[in-house]
Amino acid sequence: MRKMILALAALLICVGAQAGSPLKWGVKAGLNYHTVGEPTSLGMKDIVEAKNRVGWHAGLQASWQVTRMLSIDPELVFSRNSYDLSSSLGGGGIAYLNTIEVPVILGVRIIGPLKVQAGVNINVMTDSGAKGEKPTFRFSSSPQALGYLLGVGVDLGHINVTARYNGFFRKNEGSIAFNNLQTTDDLLKMRVSTWQLGVGFYF
């Protein structure tokens, strides 16, 4: 999967660099607001509380203008998300998720530089864990393979601004340990989503 992602990045750069190519490419960065629904688990439902934190993302973007109104806008970004987890047993910490995201977006221009966006988002988790306070806190999470996104974008010459909602088709699963009480046999499940605000530049 990682080799495929690197190959995709190289392809975007090579094709976009060709003179007269309908594909343009650039870089982007922005903020994530990672939202976590109420954790649900038979053994931990009323024990664990999650609070949202602000993260960030950065990477490459491309745009292929299919028609005057329609474009296909793939991206390749690294995303850092985190949230606070606490327990009624007295423990707590900051859980983090590092992912490589490959959104494939369909953009439809509606008024002037404004366009609406919708698409799918392939997520590959590169790292996850937690920095916890005493007592013992541990967190692990399963990768989410496929999600969806909805948003709007504004193209202003070489600069573009996007605002999106990223969701997943399934709940995220993980395990947590507070005071040696661990959700080993009963995985903790959380509905995870992300609001993203990004600014990009096309070369």
Encode pLDDT of 71-96 as tens digits: 999 999 999 988 777 766 666 677 77
Domains and CATH numbers, the chain: 2-18+25-202 (2.40.160.20)
pLDDT beyond 80 at 161: yes
Comparison of pLDDT for 69 and 175, the residue scoring more = 69
- Strands (DSSP E) found in the chain: 23-36, 48-65, 70-87, 92-111, 114-132, 137-141, 146-156, 159-168, 172-178, 181-182, 188-190, 192-202
